[in-house]
Chain A
Amino acid sequence: MNDLDSHLDGIIAGDPHAFSLWVAGVEPRLRGRLRSFAAHVDTEAVMQETLLRIWQTAGRFEPDGKPDGLLRLAMRIARHLALDEVRKKRPDRVTAAMLEENAIDNREDGSLEIDEHIRACLAKLPPKPLAAINARIHGGWRRDDDLADRVGMTLNTFFQNVSRARAALAECLRGLGVNLGGAR
């Protein structure tokens, strides 16, 4: 049994803490699975819908004995949700990559060493971009106008500062040999 499967009993029992540990472990791979849909589907909405459905149905989940059973189920749900959207709106744009059942994007590096680099790069940001991206980091699921208010910025200025912060952070990380993408 691997680390992610070790949270299964807690999730099936309805323990949000166990679910949070599982979500933290699966999110990058689940998001990566949706890359081929990015031009046609809001993958953030699909991610959240998929995770909610996993939580709602986990009590009926029956492991098949293979590793990462719940992650594989999540990937199937995410793929079906995204494919349904594409088929509804642009059926002519369904690609082989979308149909691939086992496509996994392993580019994501979740190492603690990279966490350290991210924190170091954040500390180098100028005050306003730092304030804006910190607001997004700590409350990114809240309304942007509320976040902007909290840091004393107009919404447009808030967006500009978050974008600048992320671009500077990506550049700083590249200087440390870490490429997590983002605008140049």
Chain B
Amino acid sequence: MNERDRRRLIEAAVSARRERNLDGVILPHPAWADLPEADRERIFEETRLQRRIESAIDPRRLSATGRAVLERITGAR
């Protein structure tokens, strides 16, 4: 995997979008699964920063994680 692909996969996995299986269980991001352990640690740190930025801007102080869950429970997705 070249550096460009690696960076692309890391950024993809920082997204809060996660698919569910037929049982409704939320699945790991495919990009996360393709990366080695050191990059997964990096994803954790980048995600933590990204969510903090998102919550600072949101009027309800919800990150994309919180908004994703709220959309699911209110049936918006």
A24 to B59, CA, bound (A): 11
* A97 on interface, CB distance cutoff 8 Å: no
Chain B contacts with A in 38-77, Cβ cutoff 8 A: 38, 40-58, 60-74
Evaluate contact between B40 and A49: CB separation under 8 angstroms: no
Number of interface residues of A (CB under 8 A): 55
B43 CB to nearest A CB, Å: 7
Q: Interface readout for B10-51 with A: 1 if CB under 8 Å, 0 if not?
A: 111111111000000111110011000110111111111111
Query: A182: which of B4, B49, B66 is its contact (CB, 8 Å)?
Result: B49
Q: Is the CB of B41 within 8 A of A38?
A: yes
A96–B36 alpha-carbon span in the complex (Å): 22
Check if B45 sits within 8 Å of A48, measured CB to CB: no
Which residues of chain B are near A156, meaning CB under 8 Å?
Answer: 4, 8
How far is B54's CA from A166's CA once the two chains are assembled, in angstroms?
11
Q: Which of B38, B41, B49, B62 contacts A180 (CB 8 A)?
A: B49
Q: Which of A29-45 contact B (CB under 8 A)?
A: 31-32, 34-35, 38-45
Task: Give min CB distance, B16 to chain A, whole Å.
Answer: 4
Q: Are B53 and A23 in contact, CB atoms less than 8 angstroms apart?
A: no
Question: Which listed residue, A16, A55, A110, A136, touches B15 by the CB 8 Å rule?
Answer: A136
Complex Cα distance, B55 from A136, in Å, reads 12
Is the CB–CB distance between A137 and B57 below 8 Å?
yes
Cβ contact within 8 Å between A52 and B72: yes
**Beta-carbon contact of A39 and B41 below 8 Å:** yes
**Pair A27/B37 contact, Cβ less than 8 Å:** no
Judge whether A20 and B65 touch: CB under 8 Å.
Answer: no
Q: Contact between B18 and A48 (Cβ–Cβ < 8 Å)?
A: yes
Of A2-10, A62-70, A139-147, the one with at least 4 CB within 8 A of chain B: A139-147
Q: How far, in whole Å, are A28 and B51 apart by their CA atoms in the complex?
A: 9
Tell me the smallest distance from the CB of B59 to a CB of chain A, in Å.
Answer: 10
Q: When the two chains form the complex, which single residue of A52, A108, A138, A142 contacts B52, counting CB atoms closer than 8 Å?
A: A108
Q: Of B4, B48, B54, which is within 8 A of A31 by CB?
A: B48
Given contacts A140-B63, A159-B11, 6 further A-B contacts (CB under 8 A): A24-B61, A40-B37, A42-B18, A52-B69, A137-B53, A166-B50
